[in-house]
Structure formats: structure tokens, C-alpha cells
Structure 1
Amino acid sequence: MALSGYLRILCAASLWGLIGPVAKIALAAGMPPLEVAFWRTASGWLFFALQALFAGQYRVAGRDMPLVLAFGLFGVAGLFGTYVLAVRDGGAALASVLLYTAPAWVAVMSRFLFRESMGPAKILALIMTMTGVACVCLGPGAGAEHIGPAAVFFGLASGLSYALYYIFGKQYLGRYSTPTLFLWAMPVGALALLPSVTFHAWPFTVWLAVVTLGFCSTWLAYSIYYSGLRHLEATRAAVVATMEPVVAAVLAWIMWDERFSLLGYVGSGLILAAVLVTMRPARRMPGVETEEVAPADAV
């Protein structure tokens, strides 16, 4: 059963690793980044809505609704939008690596919001993360986009937005199923991204790319991840899910010839190692609070 859990988590991580390289197909055709995020959100919501309605899991208490809707704005639109902007400005590999600054953001926010202590492991992880980001930004390799301030800003912003999944999940995701929450949160995210939509007659490959993001990298990835958690403890699942940036980097190299320099790969390794250091003292990764909490790579 444990092997089945590992395989499912690995499959989910691979599906999340598709996000950057597949999004670049739409970006290369001229679709604006926030429109890519919109269609991913809208198509992903369709599948979550169908699941929630068929399962009868669509009720949210009135007292919780304001924060659920706020999560749709900052967690869904914020994460999906900034991540695609990071892909546009810095490449799929860079965006995936900078997304993994989320545990560092979580450590800082938890210190102020939940009064959690900043022990040696967290401090070490923060130092490793900051050093890793510096190395990645200073080490673009042949074939990689120029790493400018915008790429770093949007990459770090995506990590910050993703960290909200932990903060929100600690309070609310344990009360409801994921389809229930996304049934209500995703339309808010879509509405926030709607002004960016051009309603252009895009080629079939572009529509295929954005629907793939909604179906495979959003709804299917979540579903497989949660089924894997039934056979594997959350911390182990989060460790396996760190395969996402590896998958993203390999696909970005194959599809788009993106490569880091040696310094860039060292920085990437430091950021991923910081994730493991953060989890070692029994700290859970963003969104793996319970079986129904958003996963560690829910981009």
C-alpha cells in the first residue's frame, strides 16, 4: 500500500511539473500570462464543481464564506497568476524553483500569526532559501531566459501566494473537502483574472494547453495526490512531491532548452534542501495539514 501511495504522489508531482512547460506553449503563441491563468482556473473549476455537485459536497457555513472567497482571490488568482508571470519572465524551471520558497514564507508568517517559534532548523532553512535564490538569480545558463527583477519578483510572489494555502488550510481546509472549497473559491479567482481575457480565436494547441493545465495539473493532480495520502503519511508525501521542480526543469530543458549554470543548479538544490530541513522537525508543508489540505505543490 505504501508503494501505491508513493507512486500516486510521484504522479501528482509530475502533473504539477507540467505547469510551466505547458503554459509556455500558450505564452509562445501570444496568449497573455494572466489569460493563461484564467483559463486554467476556469477549466479547473469546472471539474471541481462537477465533483462537488455529484458528491453532494457543496455547502460552506456562512461564517466561513468570506474567508473562502478571499482565498479565491489571493490563493487561487494570486498563485496561478504570479506563477505564469514568473514562467513568462524567467522560464519554467526558474518559476518552479522559486515556488519552493513557500516554506520559508510559511515560517515567517506562522511566527507572527500563530506565534510559532523560530528554531534553529527554521532559521537554517531561511538562510538556505535566501542563499539559493541568490545563486539561482546569478546563475542563468545557456538557453535560459535572462533573469531580471520581474522574474524574481513574480517567482517569490508565487511562493508567498502558495504559502497562503498553509495559513488558510490550518484554519479551514480541515473542515471541508477540497472540491467544496474550490467550488466557491475558484470563481472568485476567475473573476479577478477575467479583465485580462482577450477572447481571441487562439489555435487549437493553445486551448489544448490551457485545458491540460486545468484538467491534468489542477483537478487530476489534486485528486491523485489525495488518494495517495490515504496510503502515505503527509510529511513523506510532501518530500516525494518535491520532485515537481525536477520534472519541470527536465521538461523545460527538453521542450524549451532552458538550462541553469552550475551556480544555478547549486541554488536550486539549496532551496529544495531547505524544504526538507523545514519539514524535518515535524513541521508540515503548506497544505498537508490533513488529507484534504492542498498539497505541497498546488500551483
Structure 2
Amino acid sequence: MSFKSAQNGAGWVLLAAFLWGLLGIFGKFAQAQGLGPLEVAFWRALLGGACFALSAGLRRSRLPRGRDLLLTILFGLAGVSIFYGSYQLAVRAGGASLASVLLYTAPAFVALSGWLFWKERLGPRELGAVVLTLGGVALISLGGGSGVQVSALSLGWGLTAGLTYSLYYLYGRVFFERYDPQALYAVALPVGALGLLPFVPFAAKTSVAWFNLGCIALLCTFAAYTAYSLGLRRLNPTRASVIASLEPVVASVLAALLFAERLSPPALFGAALVIGAALLFSTASKVQHPAAG
């Protein structure tokens, strides 16, 4: 791999991290227009799924069938319905920066589920990363901040988002090498939208609300994944995972500038521990950023 190719790959992954970092920002803007968090999640899944379906159709990608289709449907309900919904609920309850940081507890959930269900051994680095994650969440819980509401509700929704985000790692281990990921998302995201539909109270939407929903679907979902996949073609997964971990940094800086969300020094240190643990996982094991956002 040439140096120029690696540079281009890093640029694509950096773009993906920036776009994913905008997710909570656009979500908060959309909610300020009177949309509920579950409606924001619903339109993200539906419109994002339409983008993936169009792309998969143009690429003539093979769709999952049989047992693989059933597992993809189940993934759509858990990894899209619950994940998208809980993330937007975490944004409403605690703020965009807190939600983005708690999302990066996902690698710890991956490691623990591998240990519990597949009897995978946790080495010293994995165990250390789990401890760092737990310590980071504890510091965030105790530290709070200005414009950031740390509560049982915000932590609960944020950790639920992290848990369901971890399904992308587990599902992707098997299916992302078997099928074009865009074809899988073309199935999983519409299924996720259907899973959310019964719980969504729809509100009248202004043009500003539609603009923010469109940005979430097109930029933070479809374009972010596409940029990340282009980066992976030119960069090894570990380096890509490290660069993608800038996502919560982007979200926190923008949330501070736009919404005056500022974590206290202890909470900032806790956030650094959570992100550091995710980086440690990416270099210590096969747990890599799944390109979900």
C-alpha cells in the first residue's frame, strides 16, 4: 500500500468520523423543531434505508435469503429500531456529547458478550479496556457538566445505544464478508423503521425539520458509511478504527459551540477513558469499528 493511498484512506475515514459526529447535532436540531426522538430515529432508518436500497440496486448487490434474511431482520429490529431510538432518546435526555461518548462503550459489550456466550478468552489488554470503560462511565456519572444532564435516564439510554451498537460488530463479523454491506443495510434499515413505527407520534414538520432529517439520513448514515468503506479499501482496519474514534470528539466540540454542552473536568477524564478503552480494544483484538454510526 502506497503512502498516498494510506493518506487518502485516512482522509475518507476522517470524513466518516466527522459525519457521524454530526448525528447528535442534527438530531438535537430536529427535536428542537418539535419532532420526538423516536420520529427522528424512524426517518433516519426509512430515508437512510432508501439510500442504501438505491445504491444496492445500482450495484446489483445480492440480498440475503433464507436463514441469513431472518437474522438480518432480527438485526434490523435490535440494531436499528432499538439502537437508533435509544441514541436519539439519549440525545434528548443528556445531550449530544454525552450520547456520543457513551456509544463508545460498545467494544466493551462486544468483549463481554464474547466471553459470556462464545467462551472467548479476555486477555490482559481486553480486561484492562473493560475496566477503563467502567471507570470512565462512573466518572461521567459523578462528574456531570454544564448543559449536560447526567441522570439515570440519560445514562440508561446511552448505554442501551452502546449495547445495541455492539451488535454491528457481532453481526458484521459474519455477514459483512458474505454480502455487500449496503445490501444488508438496504434490508435492515427499512425493517428497523417498521419496528419503530408503532411507537412514533408523528408531528407536523417544517422545512427546517425535513432538512435536518435529510442530513441525518444522507450525510450521517449513507455518506458516512460510504466514506468509511472507501477508507477501509486503502487503510488497515485497526488504523481506520483509531481514526473513526474521533467521532465523539467532533460531537463534543460541536455540542459545546452550538448548545453550550460542557462536561466537567472529571467527566471529560471519564470520556477520555471510554474513548481510550475503545482504542485499546481496536489494537488488542479483532473488535473494529463497524461503520454503523
The TM-score by the shorter chain falls in which range? over 0.9
Moved more, 112-121 or 264-273: 112-121
Moved more, 224-233 or 133-142: 133-142
What secondary structure is seen at the aligned counterpart in 2 of 1:31?
coil
Q: Partner residue of 1:176? A: 179
CA contact (8 A) 1:106 1:286 kept: no
> Following the alignment from structure 1 to structure 2, what is the Cα–Cα distance between the partners of residues 63 and 196?
28
Pick aligned residue for 1:140 from 129, 144, 155: 144
> Following the alignment from structure 2 to structure 1, what is the Cα–Cα distance between the partners of residues 203 and 279?
43
Q: Partner residue of 2:287? A: 284
The one-letter code matched in structure 2 to 1:259 is R
> Following the alignment from structure 2 to structure 1, what is the Cα–Cα distance between the partners of residues 106 and 133?
10
**Structure 2 unmatched runs, 5+:** none
The one-letter code matched in structure 1 to 2:184 is L
CA contact (8 A) 2:33 2:208 kept: no
Q: Partner residue of 1:4? A: 8
Q: CA deviation at 1:286?
A: 4.5
Pick aligned residue for 1:22 from 20, 26, 30: 26
Q: CA RMSD for the aligned pairs?
A: 1.2
Pick aligned residue for 1:94 from 89, 92, 98: 98
> Following the alignment from structure 2 to structure 1, what is the Cα–Cα distance between the partners of residues 30 and 74?
28
Runs of 4+ in 1 over 4 A off after TM superposition: none
Pick aligned residue for 1:108 from 109, 112, 115: 112
Q: CA deviation at 1:95?
A: 0.3
Q: 5 Å matches for 1:66-215?
A: 66-144=70-148, 146-215=149-218
The one-letter code matched in structure 2 to 1:203 is T
Q: CA deviation at 1:285?
A: 1.6
> Following the alignment from structure 2 to structure 1, what is the Cα–Cα distance between the partners of residues 71 and 285?
27
The one-letter code matched in structure 2 to 1:84 is Q
Q: CA deviation at 1:19?
A: 0.5
**Structure 1 unmatched runs, 5+:** 288-294
CA contact (8 A) 1:10 1:241 kept: yes
Q: CA deviation at 1:134?
A: 0.8
Q: Does 1:257 align with 2:255?
A: no
CA contact (8 A) 1:32 1:196 kept: no
Q: CA deviation at 1:114?
A: 2.7
Moved more, 227-236 or 114-123: 114-123
TM-score where L is the length of structure 1:
0.94
Q: CA deviation at 1:58?
A: 3.9
Q: Partner residue of 1:236? A: 239
TM-score where L is the length of structure 2:
0.96
Q: Partner residue of 1:270? A: 273
The one-letter code matched in structure 2 to 1:226 is S
> Following the alignment from structure 2 to structure 1, what is the Cα–Cα distance between the partners of residues 153 and 201?
23
What secondary structure is seen at the aligned counterpart in 2 of 1:30?
coil
CA contact (8 A) 2:105 2:163 kept: yes
> Following the alignment from structure 1 to structure 2, what is the Cα–Cα distance between the partners of residues 118 and 27?
40
Moved more, 163-172 or 41-50: 163-172
Q: CA deviation at 1:283?
A: 2.7
Q: CA deviation at 1:252?
A: 0.4
**What is the number of residues matched between the two proteins?**
289
Q: CA deviation at 1:59?
A: 2.4
Q: CA deviation at 1:198?
A: 3.3
Q: Partner residue of 1:291? A: none
